[in-house]
Amino acid sequence: EIVLTQSPDFQSVTPKETVTITCRASENIGFSLHWYQQKPDQSPSLVMKMASQSISGVPSRISGSGSGTDFALTINGFEVEDAATYYCHQSSDVPWTFGQGTKLEIK
Amino acid sequence: EVQLVESGGGLVKPGESMRLSCAASGFMFSSESMNWVRQAPGKGLEWVATIAGGGLSTFYADSVTGRFTISRDNVNKSLYLEMTSLTGADTAVYYCTRFATRVGAFDVWGRGKLVTVSS
């Protein structure tokens, strides 16, 4: 099983700040890494696919990078609406797995 | 509008069974792999099961293999999850999700249904 480890688990963010979440895979997964945003009492929603491919309707301040085992999701100019828990997910091999989540809150 | 709507769920006793359903609309259902992903209260996301578009291939997490069965009805655009021998560890919100091949990720999610296993 491919293990995904996110860092940090929690971060308090000031509006307009740039924040980066990382996700490390236990083995090479190429570009098969995706990011989801989940707000309280809502379903997760896809915000980045294939490491760095943007999703229609997702603000351009959210970007992704990485390949192989190390990935990152960056929010440039954090806004109140970005406060949520973010999960990475690998679709390189079954069982598909998720990171443990990173909760971003407004400072 | 692309939509997934789950039904079923609720309270069930340990050892009992339950069936979840998911109604799809707004896309070519038979062309897409469908999945169940769950989230225990206050916890992270866990992939549960996948079924290919044609229904011939299925995959399961080790934690549910032998107890859960994923199936689909492409005529009625419905996805199912039959859960047996339920335990407290199965208590979670169960989400129906689409894995679009052209996207390579879970691009559509239902609102989820809570399954609570308790005596």
Tokens representing residue A102 in the block:
């990173």
Say if residues A105 and A9 touch (Cβ distance below 8 Å).
Answer: no
Model confidence at A103, in pLDDT bands (50, 70, 90)? Answer: very high
Helix (H, G, I), strand (E, B) or coil at B15: coil
| Contact yes or no for B110 and A43 at CB 8 A | yes
| Contact yes or no for B109 and A43 at CB 8 A | yes
Nearest CA in chain B to A40: B42
Q: What's the CA angle centered on A44, arms A58 and B1, to 5 degrees? A: 65
Nearest CA in chain B to A92: B104
Minimum mean pLDDT range among A67-71, A75-79, B89-93, B103-107: B103-107
Which region, left, alpha or beta, applies to residue A57 given φ > 0 means left and ψ of -120 to 50 means alpha?
left
Model confidence at B102, in pLDDT bands (50, 70, 90)? Answer: confident
Query: Is it the case that residue B100 has pLDDT exceeding 90?
Result: no
Residue B9's pLDDT is: 92
Provide the residue type at A45 as one letter: S
